[in-house]
Structure 1
């Protein structure tokens, strides 16, 4: 009869070499990673930061690039340390899995990546900065914050608008306050019988008296159109958009010229259509005869 249990002998000495090899591998990996990462981070980040600053890049973009450099250094350090420690098989499997994951994330985050890249170009090229009044695709607003993915703007109705950076990067953006001078143009229509010189003097005089209007270039009011009902003079004044509000100056200009025209009797006609010719009525007797109703027969 065989015994139900047999004594199993375990010799701890058999596992000592494997444990020592594993410990040496782990220590080698940690030391190699620490050395490569610290040296790479020190030299790469300093090189990248110094190069970008010398070329005058924006501070936000510099900080972002330095952060990405640190992440890149860490990934490369893991790969090199694994190679030094002898993790070749694990490293190969990790590379295949990482490539597949990167491909899947890339397809899923196309819009995010597009907005991110557009944000980098907006920050670097500076087509607008915080506080600028811009217009794009029929929209307008004042820039309140420029981020790497979106730009936040405030409308004149005090509404917050968040716009993806890719939309602004691909659109024709008008920066209304980029230059130190901007023209305010308003069309004033006068009657064909009114004196153009008198109207021009009134527009130029009132425009020069509006607060915030620059002396150079001088206000002007050339005739720009001969309309169906009016002769149109374009009142033109210049302002510094960073010091004066375009909307406020335009409104004050309009009101001042309207009151001046009323005081001097200069007509500002509405759109109207004049019909000319004659209308005649003939054969009135026949028309009256047709309207007579015959008497009923007995």
Structure 2
């Protein structure tokens, strides 16, 4: 039994979609996504980010907060551009799937990078509480340096030996740190030692006079002196003085100049500034040794 196929009964096999379907389902969404992404990204970079920077600068936020805001705004602009472009292109289902996948990835990364996330959270609290700012010099543990940059994960310090130290924000947030320049004045202390035979009141007058002559030492609060110790070789006079707008270079220089001026003044006014020394007294009996030496010589 044979059958014949007519041209009308043959159904053509379409491997490649028709041109209209291809344009409708692929080209137009791709172009819409690309145009939407570029438009939102440019608006965010040209308009949104500069506005945020200007608002923070107007409100007096320090450069560290402005730098953090710049980093966060870059991430926000990318996320907004991607999300809006996908929505305009009709890929809402893809966004939902991406959100579920991103949540799972975030959960896995959270368990694997707890320290990293802890440093991130600590960085946010540092920028919120502002225990220090860019330009301050701080001391944490045995590390001393000037703050160069505050990032979300780490803080970078430049030591006074011109070394760069990167400190995780978790260490700064969870440990005690000292910020000597947090306020507009800083008090310094130094113990001058004078001899037991010297006049204490006279020595105090000399120290106060030299402190009053120094242009960087404040008159209010004034310099104060207290007898702090009776050491083996000297009487300790603890001198406390204040400097304004402190930084490390200023206070080291000021203290050095005051100590030198007091030392030279004390030398000129015959005020002794003794140093620890040991003196041996007594004698050694050597008569027996001489007798033995004499006996040995006579035997020879």
**With structure 2 as the length reference, what TM-score do the two structures score?**
0.68
Q: Which residue of 2 aligns with 1:292?
A: 295
SS in 1 for 2:224: coil
Q: What runs of 5+ residues in structure 1 fail to find an aligned partner?
A: 1-6
Residue 251 (structure 1) aligned with residue 250 (structure 2): no
Asked if 2 retains the 8 angstrom alpha-carbon contact of 1:153 and 1:162, the reply is: yes
Mapped partners of 1:14, 1:186: distance in 2: 91
Residue 226 (structure 1) aligned with residue 192 (structure 2): no
Q: How does 1:177-192 map to 2 (within 5 A)?
A: 177-192=181-196
Q: What runs of 5+ residues in structure 2 fail to find an aligned partner?
A: 1-6
Mapped partners of 1:125, 1:167: distance in 2: 15
Q: Which residue of 2 aligns with 1:138?
A: 142
Superposed CA deviations along residues 121-155 of structure 1, whole A, max 9, x for unmatched, are 22221111122121111221122222222222222
Mapped partners of 2:134, 2:289: distance in 1: 81
Q: Which residue of 2 aligns with 1:199?
A: 203
Residue 174 (structure 1) aligned with residue 175 (structure 2): no
Equivalenced residue count is: 276
Asked if 1 retains the 8 angstrom alpha-carbon contact of 2:68 and 2:151, the reply is: no
SS in 2 for 1:197: helix
Mapped partners of 1:223, 1:241: distance in 2: 28
Asked if 2 retains the 8 angstrom alpha-carbon contact of 1:134 and 1:174, the reply is: yes
Cα distance, 1:87–1:222 mapped onto 2, change above 3 Å: closer
Asked if 1 retains the 8 angstrom alpha-carbon contact of 2:68 and 2:152, the reply is: no
Cα distance, 1:247–1:14 mapped onto 2, change above 3 Å: closer
Q: How does 1:1-298 map to 2 (within 5 A)?
A: 9-11=10-12, 58-63=65-70, 87=93, 97-242=101-246, 245-273=250-278, 281=285, 288=291, 292-293=295-296
Measure how far apart 1:224 and its partner are.
0.6
Cα distance, 1:106–1:78 mapped onto 2, change above 3 Å: farther
Asked if 2 retains the 8 angstrom alpha-carbon contact of 1:29 and 1:81, the reply is: no
**With structure 1 as the length reference, what TM-score do the two structures score?**
0.69
Once structures 1 and 2 are overlaid, which stretch shifts more, 102-111 or 71-80? Answer: 71-80
Asked if 1 retains the 8 angstrom alpha-carbon contact of 2:217 and 2:243, the reply is: yes
Cα distance, 1:15–1:9 mapped onto 2, change above 3 Å: farther
Measure how far apart 1:207 and its partner are.
1.1
Cα distance, 1:187–1:30 mapped onto 2, change above 3 Å: same
Mapped partners of 1:294, 1:63: distance in 2: 96
Cα distance, 1:102–1:294 mapped onto 2, change above 3 Å: same
Mapped partners of 2:201, 2:137: distance in 1: 36
Cα distance, 1:247–1:171 mapped onto 2, change above 3 Å: same
SS in 2 for 1:251: helix
Measure how far apart 1:115 and its partner are.
2.6
Cα distance, 1:181–1:99 mapped onto 2, change above 3 Å: closer
Asked if 2 retains the 8 angstrom alpha-carbon contact of 1:221 and 1:234, the reply is: yes
Asked if 1 retains the 8 angstrom alpha-carbon contact of 2:86 and 2:92, the reply is: no
Q: CA RMSD in A?
A: 4.7
SS in 2 for 1:248: helix
Superposed CA deviations along residues 69-90 of structure 1, whole A, max 9, x for unmatched, are 55666787799999x97959x9
Mapped partners of 2:75, 2:290: distance in 1: 95
